Amino acid sequence: MSEDESGPLVICLASDIEADPFLKADKLTLNLTKREHEGKMGSSFFPLSIYTGKINDSKNLYHENFLFVVTGIGKEPAIQSAKWIAEQKPKLTLNIGFAGGLNPSLKVADFVIPAEIKNLSGEKISCNNWAHFPKINASGALLTSETIIHTSGEKASLSSAADAVDMESFYLGSVMQSYHIPFYCIKIISDTSGESFPVDFSKAVKNGKIIPLKAILLILQKLPGIPFSMKFAIRSSQLSKKLYHFVFSDGTIFK
């Protein structure tokens, strides 16, 4: 399978909080309709959510035939979602979302557009040919981990490997490239290399989602971490809005 110029443009991200501003967007910019899953259904079926729509891009590059996909968090949701996306024969796939900072120079809300993406085993995929988006200059590396890297100590130990870390991009990109589908990646820094989460939120992830009750119970076990957790929740909402504006408002991707 190779790039199909008649196929859909796909934007995918991992979680509902990242997706929220896109789903609430002005319909003159992005008009999305939720689509029912086809085929197997169940709590372990990914993608979690699929939306169809139109991008009202003034350059008319991708006016119609658009898919917006919430994959779920982690390796298995990413792989299953990527296989489903590949079956749609997209013209390209753009993965966006949050990443933790490993490079100490990166601040919260900085963007990372990696030239390569790797896993902890050292496997790599290239992501530096932004032929569809000539304003983009990719540089540096993104690391994909199977678990949430939640302490500053863990981040320091990985800082020589990459600039930032997420949990899905390598798996998404590997599948896309195996089908010869152009794959692009844009991440926004949600937490810096010097910040630690008070708890390991990996323990609250089930079927690709963070379960709110589990997350709250974990936080309550670490009472001093409550202020940071509240601050991070507010920060996440702000960052998802900034990510939306980067993709659709400033002319770098669509306008």
- At 78, which helix (H) or strand (E)? helix 75-87
**What pLDDT is recorded for position 42?**
46
List phi, psi (to 5°) of 51.
-125, 140
Bridge-partner residues for 112, per DSSP? 187
Q: DSSP label at 249?
A: T
**What pLDDT is recorded for position 211?**
87
**What pLDDT is recorded for position 39?**
44
Residue range 10-64, pLDDT digits in tens = 999 999 999 999 998 877 677 788 886 654 544 457 888 999 888 766 555 555 6
**What pLDDT is recorded for position 38?**
52
Residue ranges per domain, the chain? 9-248
**What pLDDT is recorded for position 222?**
82
Query: What 3-state DSSP class applies to 150?
Result: coil
| Residues of the chain predicted below pLDDT 50 | 1, 39, 41-43
Q: Is CATH 3.40.50.1580 the right assignment for the domain spanning 9-248? A: yes
pTM over 0.75: yes
Bridge-partner residues for 80, per DSSP? none
83's tokens: 């296989």
**Whether residue 47 has a cis bond before it, omega within 30° of 0:** yes
Cβ neighbors of 45 (< 8 A, separation 6 or more) are 37, 80
